[in-house]
Amino acid sequence: AQSVTQLDSHVSVSEGTPVLLRCNYSSSYSPSLFWYVQHPNKGLQLLLKYTSAATLVKGINGFEAEFKKSETSFHLTKPSAHMSDAAEYFCVVSGSGGSYIPTFGRGTSLIVHP
């Protein structure tokens, strides 16, 4: 079985300050991990994915995430928040036990203050 826990339902930062969105996962096998972003009235857009290659994954819009097996974490970071980063972010795990069906976290709402 696989599961995802996004530790914060809301994260609030000031523009220009670092962003940290936390995600922990549970998986029986080496999983694939994804971060998706959803802007209002838009679909889910892939930010980045980890698929057992480099543990530090760089994505679009300056985001990156580090896969830490010992901590079962896949936290999303960005050095400097921009107003346009305000959105809902979803951590997703799949591939556990050969299943392609992804399991979504509850989402973290990122609020960016001017």
Partner 1 sequence: EPEVTQTPSHQVTQMGQEVILRCVPISNHLYFYWYRQILGQKVEFLVSFYNNEISEKSEIFDDQFSVERPDGSNFTLKIRSTKLEDSAMYFCASSGTLAGQETQYFGPGTRLLVL
Give residues in contact with partner 1 (CB under 8 A). Answer: 31-32, 34, 36, 41-46, 49, 51-52, 90, 94-96, 98-107
Regarding beta strands 32-38 and 44-50, do their DSSP bridges make them parallel or antiparallel, or are they unpaired? antiparallel
Buried b / exposed e along 27-39 (16+ C-beta atoms within 10 A): beeebbbbbbbee
Nearer to partner 1, 98 or 114 (CB): 98
Nearer to partner 1, 13 or 107 (CB): 107
Cβ 15 to partner 1, closest distance in Å? 26
Cβ 13 to partner 1, closest distance in Å? 23
Q: Which residue has the tokens 């995600």?
A: 23
Nearer to partner 1, 85 or 105 (CB): 105
Instruction: Using alpha carbons, list the distances in angstroms from residue 93 to 51, 76, 82, 85, 96.
Output: 10, 14, 26, 22, 8
Cβ 47 to partner 1, closest distance in Å? 11
The token pair at 26 is: 């549970």
DSSP symbol at 5:
E
Cβ 6 to partner 1, closest distance in Å? 10
Nearer to partner 1, 23 or 81 (CB): 23
| Alpha-carbon span 27 to 9, nearest angstrom | 22
